[in-house]
Amino acid sequence: MTELTESVLRGLGTGSIYALLALGFVIIYKATRVISFAQPAFMLAGVVAVTYLAPAVGFWAAVPLAAVGTGLLALGVERAAVRPMVGRPAFVVAIITLGVDVAVRVVVNAFIGLDVRHVGDPWGLRTLSLGPVELQQRHLAAVTATGLLVAGLFAFFRFTRTGLAMRAAALDQEAALAHGVSVGAVFAVSWALAGGLAAVAGTFAAAGASVDAALWLIALTALPVIILGGLDSLPGAVVGGLAVGVLQELTATYANDLAWLGGNVSVITPYVLMLVVLLVRPYGLFGTREVERV
């Protein structure tokens, strides 16, 4: 029972990181109807920015500064590479974001260099004892930060004029334009929010470890998450992220009892789940089912 509880708690910590990454994907998709493949690059850029800022201003100031900086980077990408493509087929814009991802990662990799870089988090690999259960402090911090950010996003979308404008544009862009909503501003804010969320997610993904050029691969797990939760559902991104994280950790814990599965089977577990969901419920658990009239 202790082993099961520890696996679930680790899964919630890992799933919180997936949830933040998935939220970025979903926010951009709801606003623009385009899947942004630039999120892995923004995550890597954000965490590298933290490694440079933390020694100078401290971890607690470095994370929000890096999130703001990454948000501005994402905003610049939207203005320079995505905005001119408005009206083009969605797959063309998606390919543009894939090119942006490669270009940004090449530049960021130059800042990683050969030195070992750390985000300077105050937790490291320290644990917290809850009776017989050992919980890593970084996982607790990730869950707490995700909860605060999700609550903040809910308040933003529910009570601010910009958030209401984004919800209106997500439902019907033409109707939103008719009521005076600046769809261009909605696009810009959605990309900035996604960039900031990616930076925070990358920081917790690198907590307790060093930062290297392969860190961006973690962001790919957000794809099964948004397929599970629904491509246009913010609650689905959170629930899907936590579910995928728990499933992955449980698989890693108990896979040794099933030797025929081979090693590192937990790495592919999210993608196996994605295939199953696509076959059974392709619009996700909370996604909107597309209805076509014939």
User: 212 near 107, Cβ under 8 Å?
Assistant: no
- Which one of 101-105, 163-167, 284-288 scores highest in mean pLDDT? 101-105
User: What pLDDT sits at residue 64?
Assistant: 95
Nearest to 187 by CA among 75, 73, 25, 85: 75
Residue at 134: amino acid letter: E
Q: Which residue type is seen at 123?
A: W
Q: Between β-strands 133-136 and 127-130, what pairing exists: parallel, antiparallel or unpaired?
A: antiparallel
Residue 293 has pLDDT above 70, yes or no: no
Cα–Cα dist 188/83, whole Å: 9
Give the pLDDT confidence of 150-191 residue by residue, as tens digits.
999 999 998 898 888 888 887 777 777 777 788 888 889 999
pTM: 0.91
Q: Domain ranges in the chain?
A: 1-213
pLDDT of 261 reads 64
Q: Cα 214 to chain center, whole Å?
A: 16
Mean pLDDT of the chain: 87
What pLDDT does 290 receive? 65
Mean pLDDT across 41-57: 94
For tokens 């996003």, what's the residue?
153
More confident residue, 15 or 113: 15
- As a whole number, mean pLDDT of residues 280-288 equals 83
pLDDT tens-digit series, residues 225-257: 999 998 888 999 999 999 999 999 888 888 776
Comparing C-alpha atoms, which of 1, 116, 102, 124 is closest to residue 48?
A: 116
* Tokens read off for 24: 């970025």
Q: pLDDT category, 263, cuts 50, 70, 90? A: low
Q: What is the pLDDT of residue 198?
A: 95
pLDDT on residue 88: 78
CB burial class (10 A; 0-12, 13-18, 19+) of residue 243? Answer: buried
Please provide the size of the chain in residues. Answer: 294
